[in-house]
Amino acid sequence: MADLRTSLAAFHAGHGADAWRSLGCHQENVSGRMGFRFAVWAPAAALVAVVGDFGAWQPQPMAPDQRGVWHLFVADAVPGQHYKFLVHHRDGSIHEKSDPFGQAAELRPKTASLTLAPSTFAWDDAEWMQGRAARQQREAPLAIYEVHLGSWLRHLDGRPYTYREVAPRLIEHVHRLGFTHVEFLPLAEFPYDPSWGYQVTGYFAVTSRYGTPDDLRFLVNALHKADIGVLLDWVPAHFPRDGHGLGRFDGTPLFEHPDPQRGEHPDWGTYIFNYGRPEVRSFLLASAHFWLTEFHFDGFRADAVASMLYLDYSRGPGQWKPNRHGGTYNLEAISFLQDFNDMVRKSCPGAITIAEESTAFVKVTGSRIEGGLGFTYKWNMGWMHDTLRYFAEDPIFRQHHHTVLTFPSVYAHAEAHVLPLSHDEVVHLKGSLVRKMGGWWADGIAQMRLLFGHQWTHPGKKLLFMGQEMAQDSEWNFDTQIAWQALQDPQRVQLMTWLAALNRLYRAHPALHAGDCEDKGFRWVEGGDARHSILVFERLAAGRAVVVVLHYTPEVLLQHWLPMPLEGHYRVLLTSDTVEFGGDPQPGTAAAGDCLEASEDWGRPYLRTDVAAYAVLILERV
């Protein structure tokens, strides 16, 4: 009982990262009788009762404490039973609510929570967990394969694979491609499939679409044993208005901010959390801690962080109120995000956090001491937009847009970045990545090789959404599997072989990953050759360097003079212009393992070689 009081005191104080252990539904033995203890926070409710299978759905009134937490022990409740809370508002209305801290839920469109016995799953990923901090430090390689589990692979009858069924197939595919991590779109319970999981009603409940909580533990454990990290999309920015969810939970704006200008999202029609309320902060901190602790996730990608930071986000004049300093920042949300990152770092060593943040907010990845938010990484949305804008240009005219290609280097190290080619770029009529390539359709696969080479050699960690590794023609559809049939095309298989080769080199060579987050990890050799649409730069780390040559047009440049940083011999580590990767090598083009000599002409070192169309050439000085 003392532990319960301590946990609830922390919950009310705003630092209750363990609140999920005391609130919600938990199996207990009370005076020799097994049952379930229910606890729910509803301070403005006139009455709260629990109903469920265990009592023939007859209301069983709960007793409130002085801080508005209602309690009841039900002696005849057993695991696997459905239940809801009947919350009586002070206006006399009665509302059926799911358990905000419930750890299991029935399959949509049904909305009941489920009683759940303590997990007996036997984890055996100790080797991964003990080495996680080293594997996930900023100097380590990080290449993320982003997955929407419901549409990655489906049975012939259209059913998505379960957590257990998908494990061996996903592991095989990720190993084939060479990614270090998988990132799942949200797996917390949500009612509306087209939201892809981003409108959450069960912040502690594993979505029942793909199996049980222990089934998800099986998947994470299997990925860890295969040396694959696992990240989870987490949604602290907003929640839906569904009647069984968090909205107006006790008849008042309990979880959402009471001011509509701060508590309602104009774009998504959802509620915004009240980050200044201690119990709401505890609720969100506890949710994050729950997924890290109970499911061994290795970190989060926090969704829609930009919408949290600004009071005027998507609002016009007169639709928002300034903060106490007269500014646009949501100071409570900023403080919460700092607390969130502090909690993750202290309670789960080695876990990482990634912010989807699209503005010029300063020090998203800076420490709290220096005024930063404390994230490990930030999505580099500017790089993504500039890159896709450039690749959409007809290659004939790319020379006139050269600065679009080079500008991202200016801010590449303003934060510790992840370079995302994510689900958001291949949905809502945006088309697949291969359909974004300018010029001739016949050059689409070759340009995809170049796009991946551009991404994997640019400073920053890597993220690619599923289906794009095989250049599927159609944009992503959450309601069907990705275009596995595309692999009947040898060109798509060759593209995947190229991506795997990039990942192998990225992981093996320190120069391509150890300096991702440091300005000294990148140096221009030639960034101004707009006429030929060529970039030459160095990646450097730990006393080693590679030289990267990228050519963005279909023109074959015969015996082209390529500037190099130093005179001497350069060995070809990787080139896209090989038959294995779908290239069409000519006698004058370099092959992997070839050694090319750079000598000084006109006051700087050059080497001469044929440069293929849409070529990627990675060299190391011998």
**Active-site annotation, residues:** 303, 356
Of 298, 279, 253, 280, nearest to 131 (Cα)? 298
Type of residue found at 558: L
What is the spatial order of strands in the sheet that 69-74 belongs to? 24-30, 33-41, 69-74, 63-64
CB 450 within 8 A of CB 552: yes
Dihedral angle computed from the Cα positions of residues 92, 98, 99 and 100, in that order, rounded to the nearest 10 degrees: -90
Of 157, 423, 144, nearest to 299 (Cα)? 144
Inter-CA distances, 27 with 21, 59, 73, 77, 290, Å: 11, 19, 9, 9, 17
374: left (phi over 0), alpha (psi -120 to 50) or beta: left
The tokens describing 533, both together, are 């649409």
Inter-CA distances, 267 with 271, 295, 313, Å: 11, 32, 10
CB 410 within 8 A of CB 454: no
Whether residue 253 has a cis bond before it, omega within 30° of 0: no
Q: CA end-to-end span of the chain, whole Å? A: 68
Q: Where are the beta strands (DSSP E) in 384-504?
A: 417-421, 461-465
Phi, psi of 605 (to 5 degrees): -75, 140
Cα–Cα distance measured from residue 229 to residue 334, given in angstroms and rounded to the nearest whole number:
28
Of 395, 458, 393, nearest to 421 (Cα)? 458
How crowded is residue 58: how many other Cβ atoms within 10 Å of its Cβ? 9
The tokens describing 334, both together, are 């900023």
CB 354 within 8 A of CB 418: yes
CA-atom Rg of the chain in angstroms: 27
Inter-CA distances, 311 with 261, 277, 315, 560, 569, Å: 8, 16, 8, 53, 56
In three-state form (DSSP H/G/I as H, E/B as E, the rest C), the secondary structure along 367-397 is CCCCCCCCCCEEECHHHHHHHHHHHHCCHHH
